[in-house]
Amino acid sequence: MAEWVHEIELVPAFHDMDVMEIVWHGHYVKYMEIARCALLACLDYDFPQMRASGYAWPIVDMRLKYVRPASFGQRIAVRCEIVEWESRLKINYLIRDVQTGSKLTSAYTIQVAVDMASQQMQYVCPPVLWERLGVPPC
């Protein structure tokens, strides 16, 4: 669904550069986090709302594929899309150069719901996520 997709644009800061004068690989995770928070905020289920609903959503798996480096002053777009939500929350990411459209990095994260009171992982996403996504539960 279109509302499960969000894109942000940013320009890497000087302090994000490494000694080779490209964005240090760890900062891509920060860019993904910014985009994920923006997407979840659009669904009114950002981290404060998750906590208020009684669930923590830790990332349990992450994969990044670096294709081309980003550099200082380069405008980049970070697109994220929710692709799974039944038993876990999987979000795909595409980081690309705004000017050329060329792919810089692709990635995904997987989050699971953990009941904050019991500290138990949930094997089915809680109804609050389904409500925020606007889909009926299975």
What does the pLDDT look like over 2-29, one tens digit per residue?
579 999 999 999 999 999 999 999 999 9
Give exposure, 45-78, as e/b (b: 16+ Cβ within 10 Å). Answer: beeeebeebebbbeeeeeebeeeebbbeebebbb
pLDDT tens digit string along 41-93?
Answer: 999 999 899 999 999 999 999 999 999 999 999 999 999 999 999 999 999 99
